[in-house]
Structure 1
């Protein structure tokens, strides 16, 4: 039963992300986002980012730091104290989905070279997310035991989401100073 539930949650998440991504390609301008206003601000960021090839500074952080801050913030104290709970999984999914959107915005802006540290944090987040799902952490009572790898995966996702707020700014400043 647990496997069926986890599979259903995973399939739902993959379908949601796939539909979201394909809808964005068809209907939204550059940069991704989850709402009309987010799409508009991401478009502005992407158009600013296109100037990276001309040597001027990209400023995706202006749009994406607040989005990552919103994704990493929870009204539930100790939201992932028990990493096997649906509440924790939902919180982690919110962070990962924001990370996927950010990754898309960086790629669409052609700014991968400008955001190397941010790219590393996003890669770490995606690896941890895949491991959380592959290890079936959701609803697994052993996931909450001391020493469980599921805690590491949850911490990596939350930590990457929080550190992106700093690494984006650092990447932009380093780029402005010549690389």
Structure 2
């Protein structure tokens, strides 16, 4: 039985369910995971109807969220090369490229500055995947420079933009 929308803003979403996969492949990214998932669940109009107190917990009515966390530091290179030796890389290899895939690289500065990294990022973008670039700051390893995963707010904003653009829904 399909759920009935109890607020006008949610009405179009009754017919469409979003499926979001969050893959985490590094320890620092994993530390940001609870905040990222929390912020993704707060996207208005995508997951739930805020005006209906009954729905504040029942997210199944609007979206599926699947988390895969193999914690593999070489995932960028594996995906760019077509290697699929864990659940996340296998899912990405089988991904329907008509649907958006967003990636957020994160690594230490020396790895980020290596020429192969630019080639790998370019390969993923050539597949049609959307990059949310890393940012410069002092990293946990002590390096200073590019390599930190983008801020959670930046990621959430890009997810909203890409999903709503892809689905044809208007952001609120």
Q: Determine which structure has greater relative contact order: mean sequence separation of CA pairs < 8 Å that are 6+ residues apart, divided by chain length.
A: 1
Q: TM-score, normalization: structure 1?
A: 0.29
The structure with the largest strand share of the pair is 2
Structure (1/2) with the larger helix percentage: 1
